[in-house]
Structure 1
Amino acid sequence: METSQLIIVPQISSVPGHQALAGRMQRWLAQRGVVEALPSTCGVRGNRMANAIAPSARQVVEHPDRLPFGQPVNGLEVVDKRCIYTPTRNFLKEAGCPECRREVGEPLFESLEDWWPGITDNFSCPECGHEDDINGFLFLQPCGFSNLGFIFNGWGETAFTQAFLDAFGERLGFKVRQVRTDG
């Protein structure tokens, strides 16, 4: 069963202490009433355990009427290993260098063979030599590359408010990007 997802991804490949940080963020979201504190079978991965949507989720999204209240899949799942987060349909694989502004999508996405196993966090622009964490490059469509991701299952029909994303990033200690997948 595919479901739409709204994913929050830190804009850093290797988040230090990512597993402990994931637990702190889950507790923070539960304390704010965005998700339930105790997991239930409302996820999609593995044993399907996730933190179900809670009433205050309405306060952190652009379109609260589109949230999956009452749906069997509606929970937060945390990924604590390296993962690539992109739109699932019609992803264009286009990226640009923040330094020279040239298109570097093809070589950047080819470099993921070294990024995925953790050989490197960085990518070097083949045009000008600028090197940065892969998340520092410019992407036409929102995507993220990190060892930490927060997947809100069934939430893909809405978007987080900028105020919530700012608060989430501040609490996390890193800038974040939201990525939406289609169901």
Structure 2
Amino acid sequence: MNSQSIIVPQISSFPAHEAKARAILRWLVKLDVVEQNLTTCGRSFNRMAYAIAPGARRFVEHPDALPYGQSVNGLEIVLKRCIYTPQQGFKEEAGCPECRREIGEALFDSLEEWMPGHTDNFICPECRHEDDINGFLFLDPCGFSNLGFIFSDWLDAGLKTSFVEEFAERLDRPVSYVKARL
């Protein structure tokens, strides 16, 4: 399948991100979305992930498309600064929420400063508006954070909007739902 459904909070440096990740994992285990223990069902990070559980069917639009029985099917939790984009066909276009001008090239060039954590913010080269990089406008959903939740090969199943909204409530922050075909 080679896809990812990614939920990422719209903040570069999520405070106490490791504790929040543990709380989200406990919630997902309680809902029976994923199993409690790590197994080798991931795609990256030495393949360790939390395997899909039977209750995941309740939180997707097309339950029959979930990757039950597949070697890659789990939730990977990312606890380091990462850039989440759709990959295939991603238009590196962004706009300033203040002046509404296209600033994609400058913004994506600034990721060299953002990635190592030198800054969380971006300054619009047109109007000098400054905000967390997640505060700018993107044509395709994407995210930039030190916390991310990657559901491997769940894309065709389609996470329900209500599930993504509840995820945001649990994080106490808006989220981006990034759909990536690899």
For the criterion TM > 0.5, the same-fold answer is yes
How high is the sequence identity, in percent, across the aligned residues?
63
Matched position secondary structure for 1:142: coil
Q: How many residues align?
A: 182
For 2:20 and 2:52, the matched residues in 1 are separated by: 20
Runs (4 or more) in structure 1 with deviation over 2 Å come to: none
- The amino acid across from 1:97 in the alignment is C
Structure 2 counterpart of 1:95: 94
Shift of 1:35: 0.6
For 1:128 and 1:174, the matched residues in 2 are separated by: 27
Using the TM superposition, name which of 171-180 and 154-163 deviates more: 154-163
Q: Say yes or no: does 1:38 pair with 2:26.
A: no
Q: Say yes or no: does 1:162 pair with 2:161.
A: yes
Shift of 1:22: 0.8
Q: Say yes or no: does 1:138 pair with 2:137.
A: yes
C-alpha distance after superposition, 1:7-28 (max 9, x if no partner): 1000000000011111111111
Shift of 1:148: 0.4
C-alpha distance after superposition, 1:73-100 (max 9, x if no partner): 0000101000000012111101111111
Structure 2 counterpart of 1:110: 109
Q: TM-score scaled by structure 1?
A: 0.95
Structure 1 counterpart of 2:178: 179
Shift of 1:45: 1.6
Structure 2 counterpart of 1:27: 26
Structure 1 counterpart of 2:62: 63
Shift of 1:180: 1.1
For 2:160 and 2:88, the matched residues in 1 are separated by: 23
For 1:158 and 1:148, the matched residues in 2 are separated by: 23
C-alpha distance after superposition, 1:48-75 (max 9, x if no partner): 1211111221111222221111111000
For 2:101 and 2:157, the matched residues in 1 are separated by: 32
Matched position secondary structure for 1:157: helix
For 1:158 and 1:94, the matched residues in 2 are separated by: 27
Shift of 1:47: 2.7
Which 5+ residue runs of structure 1 have no aligned equivalent? none
Matched position secondary structure for 1:128: coil
- The amino acid across from 2:94 in the alignment is A
Using the TM superposition, name which of 157-166 and 107-116 deviates more: 157-166
Q: Say yes or no: does 1:83 pair with 2:82.
A: yes
